[in-house]
Structure 1
Amino acid sequence: MTQIDRRQFTQAAAALAALGMAPRAFAADVLKIGYVSPQTGPLAPFGEADKWVIEQMKSAFKDGITVGGRKYEVQIVLKDSQSNPNRAGEVANDLILKDKVALVLTAGTPETANPVSDACELNEVPCVSSVVPWQPWFFGRKGDPAKGFNWTYHMFWGLEDVIANFTNGWKQVQTNKKVGGLFPNDGDGNAWGDKELGFPKPLSSMGFTLTDPGRFQNGTQDFSAQIAAFKRDGVEIVTGVVIPPDAKTFLTQARQQGFRPKVITLGKALLFPGAIEALGDLGDGLTTEVWWSPSHPFTSSLTKQSAKALAESYESGTKKQWTQPIGFAHALFEVAADALSRAKSTKPADVRDAVVATSINTVVGPVKWGGQGPFKNVSKTPLVLGQWGKGQKYKYELTIVNNEAAPSIPVGGKIRLIAAA
């Protein structure tokens, strides 16, 4: 470079600086975090809060992050799985191969988290996943308990926890202990209905009788066969794990066909306020698992917000009712920030090693791999049981009605039977 060139470059740089536009050469290095969730399609309620959480994270990361002594500008790249496993795998590969992300985060049922985790394992890029019971995440990916996975780590509860919560609730009310199961032909349904890993064995050991009419496809329009089987066997409790549209179809047809169970406890479909509102009067009294709520006694390591403050911030910012995935979307970024700040560098192996060594208290509870789950890749989080009822602030509100499995999370009421018409 000649003397004149240098002078011109210096003058140009000074002019840009005066305008608040530093030349790109002086900007911080960029570190990208990828996030895959269902923004559209039937699983979209699982991703409803993600854009809000990511906006919150842009503020949390506004000063950048230091990794291995170097300061990085943080960019979060959100990809939509479209509720499709093939699409989830494709966008994960895009994040890894095109966007060159340092870490992938993913949440929202096996149909999203499993293919994303598989893509990361194959490409040797660290991944933290959530919002899938650990059995369909681990065994659904052909995990070997003796070996585990090298690049993919998971934080959520397991089927043993949901079974404990559901049955703890059922034991509090008077029924004939006859249970009807709705288990679709998908990652969750096959795990929940599995004779060894799922509901059948523990229910039998507790004196419950299970009627399982067999697998059905998501999006089915006719539940007459299931309803007929449940009526034939005198079922008073209905359980299962279905997508919101299928819950509405089943509940509407059950009412039309004169099937009135005393208890309906469904996973997945009854998590979200919008799904309950769409059910109208059918939503009152339904029970479901609660993985996060404003009542949870935990605080964010990143923003220092309590669970209650985080939920209130979401409600005031979006003018919508709080929803359970807020906590886990937020906690995934807590884990990312904590791991990256401890990593020796942004190299995949260094980031992965930092993830493995995680031990933090998040807004969903403690997260630690190795010792807080069944395998090295799984960190379990607490679970309680909730029931929907007519609300004060919103049309329907979720109240925690059993906390035997996680006593630190306070209950707000007792489980009640669904009122007969």
Structure 2
Amino acid sequence: MKRSTTRRRVLGGIAAGVAAPAILRSTRAYAQSPTLKVGFVTPSTGPLAGFAEADDYILEGLRAHFAGGIENNGKSYQIEIIKKDSQSNPNRAAEVAAELILDDEVDIITAAATPDTTNPVADQAEINEIPCITTDAPWQPYFFGRGGNPAEGFAYTYHFFWGLEDVIANFTGLWNDSGVAKKVGGLFPNDADGNAWGDAELGLPKPLAEQGFELIDPGRFQPLSDDFSNYISAFKDAGCEIVTGVMIPPDFGTFWSQAAQQGFNPKVATIGKALLFPSAIEALGDRGVGLTTEIWWSPNHPFNSSLTGISAGDLAGGYSRATGRPWTQPIGFKHALFEVVADVIARSEDLDDVEAVAAAIKGTNMSTIVGDVNWSSGPVPNVSKTPLVSGQWQKAGDGVELVITNNSHAPQIPVGGELQLLG
């Protein structure tokens, strides 16, 4: 790809932290090759590994589909996907993004699974002028967490997912359905997600207050904490019948166990991130039944792949048949991530020009297996929103299944059952 000289920097070494991205050499030798390299950063290991559980299955199918190449301006391009493990660590995510840009010389870089992955990768891409597409992180911690200015946006980095306004609307919809007292205990870690969700202006506090909910927020806890006694005591003293927040699965497991030991039994527990995956619910045993969470994607979502035409139900079913595991929400978004990549490659006016590829991303307007992706209609530049519903883990045979119980903000996605109170 040809690159502009105005933004070029000199390699200064890999950053020690995410806030200062690695600044890499700007000159790359681009052979006239029919192969386009796509980097993919994902948390294959560590506490966020649930987000990556289905990666290998999805990538296997994508590689098979791309084996025939993608046509652009009368020429067929082979697609090479290079996966790197962030190890659920933002600094490591920045490092492997730098490796993909400098050593592997990728043409497009992608990433998924919480701001701990998307933000450092996008920062590396932006400063090194590499087109980047990310997903699986609420747009506010992605955009504002990177210092985004709505009046300007970013030049090379684009993101599609839902926002905090959507998860708040879904959570309060669940709670209003429950009919319980409007006292809510908040659990927000000292990380990008927790600081965004708990932010007084952009997070949960203001809209909850506007709807008559009282939020009890004892303050930020460090990820992988081993003692939530102070939080549990505060929630009990306030009479909280609802508990909410955004946590990694190990933290929620610790909190939920200690809550039982200390006699805190809320009637509704709605937690972002920690309760997304069947593996996390299985680890909680019987106490996983009845927990509630946001639902970004399911087999019942009425969308099809632009690549293969496969339905959401068939994609989820194929994964379960191949692996013997239940479907997980990131399946759809990982597939959609590469739907967008393929669409961009096919539409770009000049695949040898980084500015043309970035322009093709910006001009995306398509339907995917997770819904529409259109960066011209986002709440801020570089962001396209996807629909969100909410629901509950309910008993199903010998196990549990995630059932959509509230679709008031995305009525095109069908409800599968009614909310049941805990205990």
TM-score over 0.5 for the pair: yes
* Number of aligned residues: 391
What displacement does 1:70 show? 2.5
1:298 to 296, 303, 311: 303
Matched residue, 2:200: 195
C-alpha separation in 1, matches of 2:417 and 2:384 = 29
What displacement does 1:55 show? 0.4
Read off the aligned partner of 1:214 and give its amino acid letter: G
1:332 to 334, 337, 357: 337
What displacement does 1:66 show? 2.3
User: After the TM superposition, which of the residue ranges 67-76 and 161-170 deviates more from structure 2?
Assistant: 67-76
C-alpha separation in 1, matches of 2:419 and 2:236 = 23
2:52 to 47, 52, 56: 47
What displacement does 1:69 show? 3.0
Read off the aligned partner of 2:288 and give its amino acid letter: G
Matched residue, 1:268: 273
- Whether the 8 Å contact between 1:83 and 1:112 is mirrored in structure 2 is yes
1:67 to 69, 72, 91: 72
Q: Which runs of 4+ in 1 moved over 4 A?
A: none
1:240 to 241, 245, 252: 245
Read off the aligned partner of 2:418 and give its amino acid letter: K
Unaligned runs of 5+ in 1: 1-26
What displacement does 1:227 show? 0.2
Q: How does 1:101-112 map to 2 (within 5 A)?
A: 101-112=106-117
Matched, 1:171 2:176: yes
Matched, 1:395 2:394: no
C-alpha separation in 2, matches of 1:176 and 1:365 = 35
- Whether the 8 Å contact between 1:47 and 1:325 is mirrored in structure 2 is yes
C-alpha separation in 2, matches of 1:267 and 1:353 = 33
Deviation per CA, 1:285-332, whole angstroms, max 9, x where unpaired?
000000000010000000110000000011111111000000000000
Q: Secondary structure at the match of 2:326?
A: coil
Matched residue, 1:4: none
User: After the TM superposition, which of the residue ranges 98-107 and 326-335 deviates more from structure 2?
Assistant: 98-107
Matched, 1:411 2:415: yes
Q: How does 1:69-148 map to 2 (within 5 A)?
A: 69-148=74-153
What displacement does 1:28 show? 6.5
Deviation per CA, 1:243-263, whole angstroms, max 9, x where unpaired?
000111000000010000000
Q: Secondary structure at the match of 1:415?
A: coil
User: After the TM superposition, which of the residue ranges 349-358 and 258-267 deviates more from structure 2?
Assistant: 349-358
Read off the aligned partner of 1:232 and give its amino acid letter: D
1:31 to 33, 36, 59: 36
Matched residue, 1:16: none
Read off the aligned partner of 2:422 and give its amino acid letter: I
- Whether the 8 Å contact between 1:267 and 1:288 is mirrored in structure 2 is yes
Matched residue, 1:364: 370
1:284 to 285, 289, 313: 289
User: After the TM superposition, which of the residue ranges 350-359 and 257-266 deviates more from structure 2?
Assistant: 350-359
Read off the aligned partner of 1:108 and give its amino acid letter: A
Matched, 1:353 2:359: yes
Matched, 1:307 2:312: yes
Deviation per CA, 1:157-179, whole angstroms, max 9, x where unpaired?
00000000000110012211100
The higher radius of gyration belongs to: 1
Given the two structures, how large is their TM-score scaled by the length of structure 1?
0.92
- Whether the 8 Å contact between 1:28 and 1:71 is mirrored in structure 2 is no
C-alpha separation in 2, matches of 1:234 and 1:323 = 34
Read off the aligned partner of 1:107 and give its amino acid letter: A
C-alpha separation in 2, matches of 1:30 and 1:302 = 19
Q: Secondary structure at the match of 1:334?
A: helix
C-alpha separation in 1, matches of 2:354 and 2:100 = 14
Read off the aligned partner of 1:409 and give its amino acid letter: I
C-alpha separation in 2, matches of 1:159 and 1:220 = 24
Unaligned runs of 5+ in 2: 1-31
C-alpha separation in 2, matches of 1:36 and 1:58 = 16
C-alpha separation in 1, matches of 2:106 and 2:73 = 17
- Whether the 8 Å contact between 1:28 and 1:73 is mirrored in structure 2 is no
User: After the TM superposition, which of the residue ranges 28-37 and 253-262 deviates more from structure 2?
Assistant: 28-37
C-alpha separation in 1, matches of 2:117 and 2:212 = 35
Let me know the Cα RMSD of the aligned residues: 1.0
C-alpha separation in 1, matches of 2:76 and 2:213 = 58
Q: Secondary structure at the match of 2:300?
A: coil
Q: Secondary structure at the match of 2:420?
A: coil
- Percent identity between matched residues is 59
Distance 1:267 1:120, change over 3 A: same
Matched residue, 1:12: none
C-alpha separation in 2, matches of 1:65 and 1:308 = 26
- Whether the 8 Å contact between 1:35 and 1:77 is mirrored in structure 2 is yes
User: After the TM superposition, which of the residue ranges 293-302 and 383-392 deviates more from structure 2?
Assistant: 383-392
Read off the aligned partner of 2:421 and give its amino acid letter: L
Q: Secondary structure at the match of 1:137?
A: helix
